[in-house]
Amino acid sequence: MPVSARTLGLCVVGLVALSQTACNLVPVYALRDSQMRAYQLNQQNRTLAAERNRLAQENGSLQAQLSTADQRLANLKSERSKLQQRYAGLLDRAGKTPSPLSRDASRRFEELAQKYPQFEFDPQTGVSKFHSDILFNSGSAEIKRSAIPLLRDFAKILNRGDAKQLNILVVGHTDDRRIAHSSTRRKHPTNWHLSTDRADSVVLALAKVGIGERRMGAAGYSKYQPIVPNKDKKSRQKNRRVEIFVLAPDAAIAGWDPSTSRN
C-alpha cells in the first residue's frame, strides 16, 4: 500500500476514535452542571417555602389583631352612641324641667336683670348669671363693694314668699387664659382655684346679706364649661362668670342630700 493511502487511513481511524471520546466526555460535564443547578433550585424552593410559611403565620397573627381591633372599635362606637343618647335624654329632661321659682319671684329677677345689665336671668330654668366684671376685679376673688347692692337685692328675692324654701348652688367659671401675674398666682395658683374661690366669695357675701348658709353650695369648673369659644377678648369676658342655680327643696345635685341639708 502506498504511504499516502496508509497515512490517510490512520487519520480516518484517529478521527473516529477522537469523536467517540468526545461524545463520552460532553454528557458527563452537562450532567454535573444539571445536578448542581437542580440542587440550587431545590434549596431556593425550600427557602421560599419556609418564607411563605412564616408570612402566612404573620398574616394570621395580623388578621387576629385586626379582628380584635375591629371588635374594640365597634364596642367603643356602641358605648359612644349610648352615651350620646343618654346625654341627649338628660338635656331633654333638663329643658322640660320647670323653674322652681314662683311667677312672682321670676318677675322680680327679670326686673333685677333690667336694673343691672351685667346680671342675666333665665325664667325657664331659674338660672342667674353674674358676669365676673360686675363682681370682681381682674384676677381677684374679692367681691367689689359696688356689687353688694346687687347681691342684697338678689337675697331679698330669695328670702321672700315661697322662694324662702329654695336652695342655691353657686358655680364659678373662668376663661382659658392661665393665671399670668405672680401676685395673683400666690392667691389663686390655677383657674381651678380662682373659679372655686370666687364661688366661695359669693356664698359668703350672700350669707352676709341674709341667705342662710344651710341653703347654699359652691362649686368651680375652671375653664372647662365655656359659653362660647375663647377666641377673643369679648368671648373670654362672657366665659368669666358666676352662675347661681336655684334648686327645689328636694333637689339632689352635686352630692346635695335634701334629707340632711337642714340638719
114-167 confidence digits (pLDDT tens): 999 889 999 888 899 999 889 999 889 999 999 999 999 999 999 999 899 999
Residue of higher predicted confidence among 262 and 80: 80
Among 47, 49, 68, which Cα is nearest to 57's? 49
**Helices and strands in the chain: count of H runs, count of E runs:** 7, 5
Residues in CB range of 102: below 8 A, 6 or more apart: 161, 162, 163
pLDDT, position 11: 46
Question: What pTM did the predictor assign?
Answer: 0.60
The mean pLDDT value for 27-51 works out to 81
166-207 confidence digits (pLDDT tens): 999 999 999 999 988 888 889 999 999 999 999 999 999 999
Q: How far apart are CA 99 and CA 219, in angstroms?
A: 20
Q: How far apart are CA 208 and CA 228, in angstroms?
A: 33
- H or E element in which residue 241 lies: strand 241-247
pLDDT > 90 in the chain, percent:
45
pLDDT above 60 for 82: yes
Among 54, 201, 204, which Cα is nearest to 137's? 201
DSSP 130-152: EEHHHH--TT--SPPGGGHHHHH
Q: How far apart are CA 258 and CA 252, in angstroms?
A: 6
